[in-house]
Amino acid sequence: MKAILLAGGKGTRLRPLTIHTPKPIVPIFNRPFLHYQLDLLKQVPEIDEVILSLNYQPRRIEEIFGDGSECGIKIRYVVEPAPLGTAGAIKYAGDQLTESVVVFNGDVLTQIDLASVIRLHRERKARATIVLTPVDNPTAYGLVETDVDGNIRRFLEKPSADEITTNNINAGIYVLEPDTFDRIPSNVSWSIERSYFPSLVERGETFVGYIYNGYWIDIGTPAKYSQVHRDIMDGRYAAAPFREIAAPRTWIASDARIEEGATVEGPCFVDEGCLVKAGAKIGPYSVIGRQTQIEEDAAVSGAVIWPNCRISREACIRDAILGRNCHIGRNVSLNSGAVLGDKTTLTDYTKA
Q: What is the CATH number of the domain that holds 169?
A: 3.90.550.10
The pLDDT tens digits along the chain (352 residues) read: 999 999 887 878 899 999 999 888 999 999 999 999 999 999 999 999 999 999 888 888 988 998 888 888 999 999 988 888 889 999 998 888 889 999 999 889 999 999 999 999 999 999 999 999 998 877 777 788 888 889 999 888 776 777 778 888 889 999 999 999 988 988 888 988 888 998 999 899 999 999 999 999 989 899 999 999 999 999 999 988 888 888 888 999 999 999 999 999 989 999 999 999 999 999 999 999 999 999 999 999 999 999 999 999 999 999 999 999 999 999 999 988 899 999 999 999 999 8
Helix (H, G, I), strand (E, B) or coil at 162: helix
Query: 299 and 207, same structural domain?
Result: no
pLDDT at 211: 94
pLDDT at 53: 92
CB half-sphere exposure, 116, CA atoms < 13 A: 8
Amino acid at 46: E
Query: 153 and 7, same structural domain?
Result: yes
Number of domains in the chain: 2
User: Which domain, by its residues, includes 123?
Assistant: 2-218
Distance, CA of 208 to CA of 216 (rounded, Å): 19
pLDDT at 106: 86
Query: 249 and 200, same structural domain?
Result: no
pLDDT at 90: 92
Helix (H, G, I), strand (E, B) or coil at 190: coil
Q: Is residue 297 part of a domain?
A: yes
Q: Is residue 95 part of a domain?
A: yes
pLDDT at 145: 87
Distance, CA of 63 to CA of 58 (rounded, Å): 9
Handedness of CA 118, 123, 126, 130 (dihedral sign): negative
pTM: 0.90
Q: Is residue 23 part of a domain?
A: yes
pLDDT at 213: 93
Among the listed residues 98, 49, 53, 94, the one whose alpha carbon sits nearest the alpha carbon of residue 75: 49
Query: 195 and 256, same structural domain?
Result: no
Distance, CA of 77 to CA of 51 (rounded, Å): 6
Distance, CA of 322 to CA of 208 (rounded, Å): 41
